[in-house]
């Protein structure tokens, strides 16, 4: 976001600061105070001014006499999602990003965005959606509407809400429709479409992306309807120092009979109508970039293949327990469930 209207020189008067704050009434009420070299030296809010006036300051006094000099900031190139989360929890929502010379280069708005996660995101949108026919005869599944927008748009918009800027979509079946759909930028972010020449599976298409901007890559199916907390998943991944994280949803199996525990022919126990609890793959993954080297080039390769390969090589693969809404829109009944849920939100 543009920072010019939030910057004021430390020699400007308190009256000038009030005029500037009044002009930013639709934004967070903070000004960034800079010196003659445009280096940031403080922040100023209407609360700082009010407290200054109570102390006896005049409207003609310079803002440096009222500013808050012990301010929070993020250093450019050192995006720390955990730090941004802590700022938000402290209700500090407007964070300046400073370069090495303390110049304000941009501002993080933690009201509009949950965080600014340093990840590249890839959505897999190449499948035929055969179980949803005839709905997918002429429309690719990711473009089917759920509520007021396409399935894939729910996921793209959610990624953007977590500050993810580098988003790619792999396409194959009815690819041109998805390419046209993302021709124009979405919230000032250009979604990159990458076309498969053949079906390459969940992970095989990652080799078609030649440039990654971050050390962590998020891969997900585009046909999910979910309110997953991407910040929490990312922080969980980094905290556990894993090579790969797999989002997982609870899956319970209830057996309506008494189950016998056997030792050969002998019954050694009985469990009446047991419930078995499992975790199912939710189709959302975080990867360290070196993991991409384990994916064969030009071959069909699924996420399950990658998980098994990493486990075989004794790499750390962890489960992230997904809480909240998750629907895999693979059948007509699941599609209707997502429609019904979207209609209630």
Q: pLDDT tens digits, residue range 92-109? A: 888 999 999 999 998 898
Q: pLDDT tens digits, residue range 259-295? A: 889 988 889 999 988 888 889 999 999 999 999 999 9
| Number of domains forming the structure of the chain | 2
Clarify whether residues 239 and 265 are in a common domain.
Answer: yes
Using DSSP bridges, classify how beta strands 94-98 and 74-75 pair: parallel, antiparallel or unpaired: parallel
Quick one: residue 77, left, alpha or beta (phi over 0 = left, psi -120 to 50 = alpha)? left
261 inside domain:
yes
The percentage of residues in the chain with a pLDDT greater than 90, rounded to a whole number, is 61
**Residue that finishes a domain, picked among 109, 130, 151:** 109
Domain hosting 160: range is 119-344
**Residue that finishes a domain, picked among 56, 80, 109:** 109
Two structure tokens written together for 188? 């000032």
The percentage of residues in the chain with a pLDDT greater than 70, rounded to a whole number, is 97
**Residue that finishes a domain, picked among 109, 129, 145:** 109
Number of Cβ within 10 Å of residue 6's Cβ equals 22
Clarify whether residues 125 and 102 are in a common domain.
Answer: no
Q: What is the pTM of this model?
A: 0.86
Q: pLDDT tens digits, residue range 163-192? A: 999 999 999 989 899 999 999 998 889 999
223 inside domain:
yes
CATH code of the domain in which 73 resides: 3.10.580.10
Q: Which residues of the chain have pLDDT under 50?
A: none
Max Cα–Cα distance, the chain, nearest Å = 95
């Amino acid at each position: 976001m543009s920072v010019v209207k939030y910057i004021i020189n430390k020699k400007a008067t308190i009256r000038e600061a009030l005029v500037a704050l009044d002009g930013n009434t639709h934004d967070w009420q903070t000004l960034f105070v800079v010196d003659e070299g445009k280096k940031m030296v403080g922040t100023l809010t209407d609360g700082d001014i009010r407290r200054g006036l109570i102390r006896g300051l005049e409207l003609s006094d310079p803002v440096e006499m009222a500013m808050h000099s012990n301010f929070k900031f993020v250093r450019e190139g050192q995006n720390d999602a955990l730090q941004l989360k802590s700022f938000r929890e402290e209700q500090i929502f407007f964070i300046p990003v400073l370069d090495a010379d303390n110049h304000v280069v941009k501002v993080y708005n933690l009201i509009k965005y949950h965080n600014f996660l340093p990840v590249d995101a890839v959505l897999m949108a190449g499948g035929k959606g055969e179980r949803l026919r005839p709905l997918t005869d002429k429309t690719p599944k990711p473009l089917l509407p759920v509520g007021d927008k396409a399935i894939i748009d729910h996921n793209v918009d959610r990624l953007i809400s977590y500050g993810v800027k580098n988003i790619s979509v792999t396409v194959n079946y009815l690819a041109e429709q998805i390419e046209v759909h993302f021709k124009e930028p979405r919230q000032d972010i250009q979604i990159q479409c990458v076309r498969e020449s053949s079906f390459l599976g969940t992970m095989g298409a990652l080799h078609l992306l030649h440039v990654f901007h971050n050390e962590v890559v998020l891969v997900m199916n585009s046909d999910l309807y979910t309110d997953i907390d991407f910040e929490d998943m990312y922080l969980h991944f980094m905290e556990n120092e894993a090579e790969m994280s797999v989002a997982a949803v609870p899956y319970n199996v209830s057996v309506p009979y008494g189950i016998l525990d056997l030792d050969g022919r002998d019954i050694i126990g009985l469990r009446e109508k047991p419930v078995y609890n499992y975790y199912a793959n939710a189709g959302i993954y975080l990867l360290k970039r070196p993991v991409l080297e384990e994916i064969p080039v030009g071959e069909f390769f699924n996420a399950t293949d990658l998980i098994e390969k990493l486990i075989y090589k004794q790499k750390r693969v962890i489960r992230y327990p997904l809480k909240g809404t998750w629907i895999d829109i693979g059948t007509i009944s699941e599609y209707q469930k997502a429609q019904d849920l979207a209609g209630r939100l």
